[in-house]
């Protein structure tokens, strides 16, 4: 047992057994002594009387169904890849603009719709409402995609939109061309049916989201600010419907992102004197840097589960967990530290429990017999809602703890504000109703988006920003985003169009119906 790998395996095993025992003991304790509760956010809506507005039904013909899928496939085939802020595919972005005009002729011809191109490749639409006193809302999506290479192991070429077993394969099918095309396709059908919205709304399609949105989203926001626009709420990509993704959760859940994590990109560098490799110093710049990076990986940021919106996720889903998780999730006032430890065990759920630390680039050395003068590493951190950028930087400094390592913040921002998700929150409740109209079997819960979206640039325009797309994700599907075999089922894409079709009409109510209490005891 002297081998450290065996010791580590034994340690993990013992820790697993202890945690399992702890779960059982705490569950028994909870059964015996604690009254559990769960927030069922779906409850109020089923009871409440929704204001009746003039509506049109989502009944599309077979020809329209084929046409909507063909439009979507054409969008996937245009390689709008962003590599860096200075390396975007402008030819493809222009071609995409032409596709929008061709695919959605009614949108572009309608007297209710004003369209403008922003920063050469982004698009802004204003859809006029018949009642200007109703505060407008905004739908966001982005046209660009991350690179994809078939040789990584794709089952179909990533810009082919090939159909396999009723799925359409291609980069952008989940991020984010399904939203771009879904929103405009829904508007096209609404306008074709003679629908006139009461509440006006904007649609913003960014062209450089994958490289931070500093041209598309930032210039669109500048334009809207010049026009003194204030939004009732804003919806962007982010979270989705999870079905079988979280162990122990019984049934599908729609996670509606009410915030997103902050971010920091940090450069670590070590400079030493270059020289002949035959006379090396005891420590090289690469060795010093590697040790610092290892310290960062060995000492992850503290678990903060329960102190951010992820607490709401578990409270709202508590009644859907199987035992004993249900008792843990129903009594986070007591068990949050245990749930946090459990989530931290897995790579994807760890992201919900703490600020994550990812070492993404490491460079050093120029020749085998030359001592490296400089070694540098890049670390990308995603900051938990209960921590600030400054706190994270202070922790990095103390963990690195070596004056020879230079620590520079290249880019960073605090976690985004938390949008409202109460029973009186207009945006949250409208979105919840729209999700339930299309997917009645899901439970809706607030969530935290662990990645960043263009919507972060809009925080001065809307107090309430939500991140959600009606993508139905099964186990392993989240890894397809930015990964290989990104795909969406044809049925899911049709549901996406149906969701935006429903959402736009649901937004026409003046105010929410009287709320009912959503707190349930069991």
Ligand X SMILES: CCCCCCCC/C=C\CCCCCCCC(=O)N[C@@H](CC(N)=O)C(=O)O
Residues making up the annotated binding site are 142, 175, 210, 236, 482
- Contact region with ligand X (CB under 6 A), list: 242-250, 295-303, 325-333, 384-392: 242-250
Q: At CA 323, angle to CA 240 and CA 418, rounded to 5?
A: 35
Q: How far is the CB of 259 from ligand X (least distance, A)?
A: 13
User: Which member of 349, 355, 455, 485 binds ligand X (CB under 6 A)?
Assistant: 349
The pattern of x and - marking residues 199 through 218 that bind ligand X according to CB under 6 A reads: ----------xx-xx-----
Residue 420 burial (10 A CB sphere; 0-12, 13-18, 19+): middle
Q: CB of 203 within 8 A of CB of 220?
A: no
* Residue 238 sits in the site that holds ligand X (CB under 6 A): yes
Continuous segment of H or E residues that includes residue 520: strand 519-521
* Residue 242 sits in the site that holds ligand X (CB under 6 A): yes
- Pull the structure tokens for residue 417: 């504000």
Alpha-carbon distance values, 161 to 155, 158, 186 (Å): 11, 7, 21
**Three-class SS of residue 364?**
strand
Q: How far is the CB of 257 from ligand X (least distance, A)?
A: 9
User: Nearest to residue 192, comparing CAs of 501, 508, 494?
Assistant: 501
Q: Which is nearer to ligand X, 175 or 376 (CB)?
A: 175
Please choose which of ligand X, Zn ion, none residue 212 contacts, taking the beta carbon within 5 to 8 angstroms, the exact cut-off set by kind.
Answer: ligand X
DSSP characters over 5-65: HHHHHHHHHHHHHHHHHHHHHHHHHHHHH---EEE-THHHHHHSPPPP---------HHHH
Q: How far is the CB of 454 from ligand X (least distance, A)?
A: 6
* Residue 262 sits in the site that holds ligand X (CB under 6 A): no
First to last CA, the chain: 48
* Residue 291 sits in the site that holds ligand X (CB under 6 A): no
Q: Is 464 a catalytic residue?
A: no
Q: Which residues contact 75 (CB under 8 A, 6 or more apart)?
A: 96, 99, 103, 172, 177, 180, 181
User: Nearest to residue 78, comparing CAs of 105, 64, 97, 65?
Assistant: 97
- Contact region with ligand X (CB under 6 A), list: 235-243, 285-293, 329-337, 428-436: 235-243
Query: Binding-site residue total for ligand X (CB under 6 A)?
Result: 20
- Pull the structure tokens for residue 495: 């549901």
- Contact region with ligand X (CB under 6 A), list: 25-33, 111-119, 158-166, 240-248: 240-248
* Residue 237 sits in the site that holds ligand X (CB under 6 A): yes
- Pull the structure tokens for residue 302: 């503290």
Binding-site residue positions for Zn(2+): 142, 175, 210, 236, 482
* Residue 472 sits in the site that holds ligand X (CB under 6 A): no
Q: Which is nearer to ligand X, 170 or 200 (CB)?
A: 170
The footprint of ligand X on residues 430-459 (CB under 6 A) is 451-453
> Tokens 């026009």 identify what position?
227
Q: How far is the CB of 238 from ligand X (least distance, A)?
A: 5
Q: Is 144 a catalytic residue?
A: yes
User: Which member of 95, 481, 484, 489 binds ligand X (CB under 6 A)?
Assistant: 481
* Residue 478 sits in the site that holds ligand X (CB under 6 A): yes
Q: What is the 3-state secondary structure (H, E, C) of 164-226?
A: ECCEEECCCCCCCHHHHHHHHHHHHHHHHCCCCCCCCEEEEEECCHHHCCCCHHHHHHHHHHH
Angle, helices 490-506/426-438, rounded to nearest 10 degrees: 140
User: Which member of 167, 189, 305, 352 binds ligand X (CB under 6 A)?
Assistant: 352
Please choose which of ligand X, Zn ion, none residue 463 contacts, taking the beta carbon within 5 to 8 angstroms, the exact cut-off set by kind.
Answer: none
DSSP characters over 102-137: HH-HHHHH-TTEEEEEETTTEEEEEE--S-TTSPPE
Rounded CA gap, 205 and 433, in Å? 24
Residues near Zn ion, by CB under 5 A: 175-176, 237
- Contact region with ligand X (CB under 6 A), list: 77-85, 155-163, 237-245, 507-515: 237-245
The pattern of x and - marking residues 115 through 154 that bind ligand X according to CB under 6 A reads: ----------------------------------------
Catalytic residue among 176, 188, 209, 423: 209
Q: How far is the CB of 261 from ligand X (least distance, A)?
A: 9
Q: How far is the CB of 401 from ligand X (least distance, A)?
A: 28
- The H-assigned helical ranges of 78-104 are 90-103
Please choose which of ligand X, Zn ion, none residue 451 contacts, taking the beta carbon within 5 to 8 angstroms, the exact cut-off set by kind.
Answer: ligand X
Contacting residues toward ligand X, per CB under 6 A: 175, 209-210, 212-213, 237-238, 240, 242, 245-246, 313, 348-349, 352, 451-453, 478, 481
Catalytic residues: 144, 209
């Amino acid at each position: 047992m002297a081998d450290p790998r065996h010791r580590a395996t034994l340690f993990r095993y013992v820790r697993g057994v202890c945690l399992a025992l702890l779960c059982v003991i705490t569950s028994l304790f909870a059964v015996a002594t604690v009254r559990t509760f769960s927030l069922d956010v779906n409850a109020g809506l089923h009871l409440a009387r929704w204001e009746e507005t003039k509506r049109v039904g989502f009944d599309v013909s077979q020809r329209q169904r084929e046409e909507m899928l063909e439009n979507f496939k054409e969008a996937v085939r245009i390689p709008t890849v962003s590599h860096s802020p200075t390396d975007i595919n402008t030819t493809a972005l222009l071609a995409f603009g032409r596709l929008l005009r061709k695919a959605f002729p009614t949108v572009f011809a309608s007297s209710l719709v004003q369209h403008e191109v922003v920063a050469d490749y982004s698009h802004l639409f204003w859809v006029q409402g018949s009642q200007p006193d109703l505060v407008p809302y905004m739908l966001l999506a982005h046209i660009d995609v991350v690179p994809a290479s078939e040789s990584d192991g794709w089952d179909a070429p990533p810009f082919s939109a090939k159909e396999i077993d009723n799925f359409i394969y291609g980069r952008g099918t989940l991020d984010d061309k399904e939203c771009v095309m879904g929103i405009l396709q829904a508007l096209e059908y609404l306008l074709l049916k003679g629908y006139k919205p009461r509440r006006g709304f904007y649609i913003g399609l960014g062209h450089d989201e994958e490289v931070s949105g500093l041209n598309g989203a930032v210039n669109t926001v500048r334009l809207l600010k010049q026009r003194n626009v204030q939004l009732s709420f804003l919806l962007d990509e982010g979270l989705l419907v999870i079905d079988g993704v979280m162990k122990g959760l019984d049934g599908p859940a729609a996670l509606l992102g009410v915030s997103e994590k902050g971010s920091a990109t940090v450069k670590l560098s070590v400079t030493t004197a270059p020289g002949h490799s035959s006379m090396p110093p005891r420590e090289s710049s690469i060795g010093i840097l590697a040790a610092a990076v290892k310290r960062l990986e060995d000492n992850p940021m503290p678990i903060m589960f329960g102190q951010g919106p992820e607490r709401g996720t578990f409270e709202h889903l508590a009644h859907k967990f199987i035992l004993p998780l249900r008792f843990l999730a129903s009594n986070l006032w007591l068990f949050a530290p245990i749930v946090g430890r459990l989530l931290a065990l897995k790579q994807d759920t760890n992201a919900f429990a703490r600020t994550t630390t990812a070492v993404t680039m490491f460079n050093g050395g120029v020749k085998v017999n030359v001592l490296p003068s400089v070694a540098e590493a890049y670390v990308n951190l995603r900051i938990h809602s209960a921590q600030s950028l400054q706190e994270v930087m202070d922790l990095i400094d103390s963990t690195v703890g070596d004056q020879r390592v230079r620590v520079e913040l290249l880019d960073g921002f605090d976690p985004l504000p938390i949008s409202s998700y109460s029973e009186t929150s207009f945006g949250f409740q409208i979105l919840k109703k729209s999700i339930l109209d299309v997917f009645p079997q899901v439970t809706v819960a607030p969530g935290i988006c662990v990645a960043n979206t263009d919507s972060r640039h809009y925080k001065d325009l809307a107090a309430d920003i939500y991140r959600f797309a009606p993508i139905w994700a099964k186990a392993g599907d989240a890894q397809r985003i930015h990964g290989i075999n990104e795909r969406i089922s044809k049925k899911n894409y049709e549901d996406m169009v149906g969701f935006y079709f429903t959402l736009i009409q649901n937004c026409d109510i003046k105010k929410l119906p009287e709320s009912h209490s959503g707190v349930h005891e069991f």
